[in-house]
Amino acid sequence: MRRDVFQAIADPTRRAIINLVAHKTLNLNSVADHFQQSRPAISKHIKILTECGLVTIKQQGRERYCEAKLEKLNEVEHWVEQYKQFWETKLDALESYLNELQAPQLRKISKSKKSIRIVSSKIKKHGKQK
């Protein structure tokens, strides 16, 4: 079965494994030691990551080491980017609309503040005249 990168990142354990081996190449036992799941369960996760092309396994003597291949995550970045642009456009339009709705209210508030300052200055002048 051919898997894609989205299947790999769909599971939190696999995302955690990616994060671990992205920082340091680890043998399978070291990876498994970071989780409360059984070693066979972690091995299945690593197998899926390998099938997706996000992890490679390298044999060194009797040990097998996991190494991250993060280039495949570019697929996710490109997919997310198109939706990011879509939502930024929508949110910019919403912001403009809300600003249009608020403009009359802000003008009223500005006029009210101006009126208060005029009244306040007249009160001060009146108080100084006495």
pLDDT in tens, 5-17: 999 999 999 999 9
Domain co-membership, 95 together with 50: no
Domain co-membership, 87 together with 54: no
Alpha-carbon dihedral sign for residues 12, 17, 20, 23: negative
Domain co-membership, 92 together with 56: no
pLDDT digits (tens, 9 = 90+) for 62-86: 999 999 999 999 999 999 998 998 9
Scanning the structure block, which residue is given the tokens 């997706």?
A: 52
Domain co-membership, 94 together with 55: no
Q: Which of 25, 46, 68 is the last residue of a domain?
A: 68
pLDDT digits (tens, 9 = 90+) for 19-38: 999 999 999 999 999 999 99
Domain co-membership, 12 together with 61: yes
Whether 50 and 17 have beta carbons less than 8 Å apart is answered as no
Q: Taking residues 111-123, what's their average pLDDT?
A: 63
Domain co-membership, 64 together with 91: no
Domains held by the chain: number: 2
Spatial distance between the Cα atoms of 113 and 34, rounded to a whole number of angstroms: 61
**Model's pTM, two decimal places?**
0.67
Which range of residues forms the domain containing residue 32? 5-68
7: Cβ contacts below 8 Å, ≥ 6 apart = 48, 52
Q: Which of 39, 68, 97 is the last residue of a domain?
A: 68
Domain co-membership, 89 together with 116: yes
Domain co-membership, 9 together with 63: yes
